[in-house]
Structure 1
Amino acid sequence: MNRFSQILQSLRTQPGYTLMRGAARFGTVRQLVGQSRRLIQRRRLEAYLLQCEAQLQDSVFAPLDRLGFVGRLRRDGVAFGLKLPQSMVADILAFAKGNACYADRQVGRGFRLDSRAAAEAELGKPILVAQYFNAVAECGAIGRLARDPLLQWIAGAYLQSVPTFVGGNLWWTFPVQALAEDRDRHAHLFHRDVDDFRFFKFFFYLTDVEPGDGAHVCVLASHRKPPVLGIADRWNLRRYSDDEIAERYGVDDIVEICGGAGTGFAENTLCVHKGMTPTRAPRLLLQLQYALFDYGVMHDRRSLSTLAMLA
């Protein structure tokens, strides 16, 4: 399917999301919509933040310099300092081990972790990524995180609007010799996201992530300094090679994010970023995404009638 056909199909199936992506790749449009939303929701946002502050004692996170965190997220496009309780890490791992995940995020490719080899044999290829569906609804720990008052305060303060939780996703990345098309499909090449006019994500490692072994990599402040390597890059969204990014940015700007199980951070993934393929151990990652508007494409909800296991 060529690019034009893909756009036409997307317009038929996801018209709002497709039109947004066409407009939001331009910084002036993102700024105009964001500022308009901020003015419209100013009073609602003030009340929302006060409500979150009144509930901070219920957060699972240790006290945090919230203003500093949001300031770093605005400046660098990424902010660190979140840590999940080990009991919550254990709960999410137990959910992952007790439920089916789905190769390539395809509803008809379900398998359990102990049968991955059989699933790969049936597919005739190594499985790079496998996602859980309905995890936000079915895993109590993930649902609680999505409602955590500290995360909600950060979301409101950063977006400058009453935030919309648009979805959570939990997935494994396995240490395999992945096909080039799978590395492209699952964003293991540098790229930027345009998921709304203003948006960002929380990421949490549920397994230890050591240097060179499946880390998330981002380029600091690249949400404000996009990689314009040619005229078309001013509006084009594409994959970038490691060499292209190294040519555009300093080595100190390219950050490999490592940490033990429970490590959390926030990122505006309009920043240039990629996932690295693990080399030794599988990586389990949780993503929670907040934005201005919900286009219905970022969530993990799937009808049970559509889910099927690989034989």
Structure 2
Amino acid sequence: MLDAPQSKLHDLETIARSGGTLRRITARIPTYLTDLRENPAWLPMFLLARTMPFRRAHWLTAKRVRSAATGPSMFGGLDAKAIAAELKSAGIFAGLTLPADIHEEIARFGHETPCFGNFERRLEFRAGEHAEAERRFGRPILSGHHFERVLQCKAAVAVQRDPLLLDVARHYLGGEAKPITTRIWWSFPTKSASEADLSRASFKYHFDLDDWRMLKFFFYLSDVDADAGPHVYVKGSHNRRRMRHQLTLLVGHPAEEVLEFYGEDNAFTLTGPAGTGFVEDPFGFHMGTLAKRSPRLMMEVGFGVSKPSKRRYHGEPVIR
């Protein structure tokens, strides 16, 4: 049997990818309609915030910061203005460290409190029972989210309320910035994940489009090396966007397509011991890599400028 010409193979791949794209868009239509009914302002954000001209216009509406957040910070004397300046340039700042007692308490919570596998509440188990849970439920489990239970952890709430985070968010996003998400989740190594599992788990470059302007703080609660699912961010990609990435409804794109345009040298892989933290503009391309040998426990605190949606993207609680 003769091999198909390379152009023919490329055409088949394009058709297959288009079919998957259509299926994913169709599956999300009920969710999009719910968001629209709840908040009509969601639709212009969803359609226009992915385009650079409209996005830059919205940034011009940011309110001035009138005063800094007050109170002592667990992060010491870091300068919020300097962090915001680096964010505006690179899209990411990687100089945060949680105090040992804080990240140890949150990690203890993560180990002792049952999580929900693959965003499904019926898949409930403790992190140490992951292998047994895969056997019991008869399916690969790549993630385990603690959903609203995160608010039961006093140390996690203390991180969310730390004045430095709000100060950085306001200097970067504008005076109207407020916390909108807090979540803790596990990423588990598994040997039986299918391509569909990996696609749903966002193990490819994507950007977040939950608001016109957003900022997310991330903290490793376990040691993360190259085999523990490190986070990757493409520096500078928050400030420019390829036209095809502005005109598609999908936010995820193949690695070769992203790196060819934004530069392989700008792909920044974040590793470090438990307590390592960083903050990024999630409109820049990023991804969580697959945990290969050891699980990764991580925390996120997100800030935005619009009314938070009742729908939680990862099951996290609504922050008021």
Structure 2 match to 1:23 = 48
Structure 2 match to 1:250 = 263
Deviation per residue, 1:138-168 (Å, 9 max, x gap): 1101111111011110011110122121111
Paired residue type of 1:235: L
C-alpha RMSD of matched pairs (Å) = 2.0
Structure 1 match to 2:6 = none
Q: For 1:282 and 1:182, locate their aligned partners in 2 and report how far apart those are by CA, in whole Å.
A: 17
Paired residue type of 1:79: F
SS in 2 for 1:90: helix
1:239 to 252, 264, 272: 252
Identity %, equivalent residues:
30
SS in 2 for 1:46: coil
Q: Rate the CA distance shift 1:208–1:238 in 2: closer, same or farther, 3 A.
A: same
2:287 to 270, 274, 294: 274
Q: For 2:116 and 2:77, locate their aligned partners in 1 and report how far apart those are by CA, in whole Å.
A: 36
Q: For 2:23 and 2:247, locate their aligned partners in 1 and report how far apart those are by CA, in whole Å.
A: 19
Q: For 1:13 and 1:154, locate their aligned partners in 2 and report how far apart those are by CA, in whole Å.
A: 32
Q: For 1:118 and 1:136, locate their aligned partners in 2 and report how far apart those are by CA, in whole Å.
A: 24
Q: In the alignment, is the contact (CA less than 8 A) between 2:182 and 2:316 conserved in 1?
A: yes
Q: For 2:228 and 2:149, locate their aligned partners in 1 and report how far apart those are by CA, in whole Å.
A: 25
Q: In the alignment, is the contact (CA less than 8 A) between 2:235 and 2:268 conserved in 1?
A: yes
SS in 2 for 1:233: helix
Q: In the alignment, is the contact (CA less than 8 A) between 1:69 and 1:80 conserved in 2?
A: no
Structure 2 match to 1:292 = 305
Where do 1:106-145 residues align within 5 Å? 106-145=120-159
Structure 1 match to 2:59 = 34
SS in 2 for 1:167: strand
SS in 1 for 2:272: coil
Q: Are residue 224 (structure 1) and residue 249 (structure 2) matched?
A: no
Q: In the alignment, is the contact (CA less than 8 A) between 1:11 and 1:19 conserved in 2?
A: no
Paired residue type of 1:46: R
Paired residue type of 1:59: S
Cα deviation, residue 111, structure 1: 0.9
Q: Are residue 61 (structure 1) and residue 113 (structure 2) matched?
A: no
Paired residue type of 1:108: R
Where do 1:166-177 residues align within 5 Å? 166-177=180-191
Structure 2 match to 1:13 = 34
Q: For 1:297 and 1:18, locate their aligned partners in 2 and report how far apart those are by CA, in whole Å.
A: 15
Q: Rate the CA distance shift 1:19–1:102 in 2: closer, same or farther, 3 A.
A: farther
Q: For 1:106 and 1:95, locate their aligned partners in 2 and report how far apart those are by CA, in whole Å.
A: 20
Structure 1 residue ranges without an equivalent (≥5) = 303-311
Structure 1 match to 2:199 = 184
Q: For 1:19 and 1:115, locate their aligned partners in 2 and report how far apart those are by CA, in whole Å.
A: 44
Deviation per residue, 1:167-222 (Å, 9 max, x gap): 11111001123222221112111111112111010000001111343100011000
Q: Are residue 100 (structure 1) and residue 114 (structure 2) matched?
A: yes
Q: For 1:243 and 1:164, locate their aligned partners in 2 and report how far apart those are by CA, in whole Å.
A: 35
Q: For 1:123 and 1:167, locate their aligned partners in 2 and report how far apart those are by CA, in whole Å.
A: 29
Q: In the alignment, is the contact (CA less than 8 A) between 2:118 and 2:144 conserved in 1?
A: yes
Q: TM-score, normalised by structure 1?
A: 0.86
Paired residue type of 1:34: W
Q: In the alignment, is the contact (CA less than 8 A) between 2:231 and 2:270 conserved in 1?
A: yes
Q: Which moved more, 1:131-140 or 1:115-124?
A: 115-124
Q: Are residue 301 (structure 1) and residue 306 (structure 2) matched?
A: no
Aligned residues: 288
Q: For 2:44 and 2:201, locate their aligned partners in 1 and report how far apart those are by CA, in whole Å.
A: 23
Paired residue type of 1:14: D
Deviation per residue, 1:86-141 (Å, 9 max, x gap): 10011101111121100011122111123222321233222111100213421101
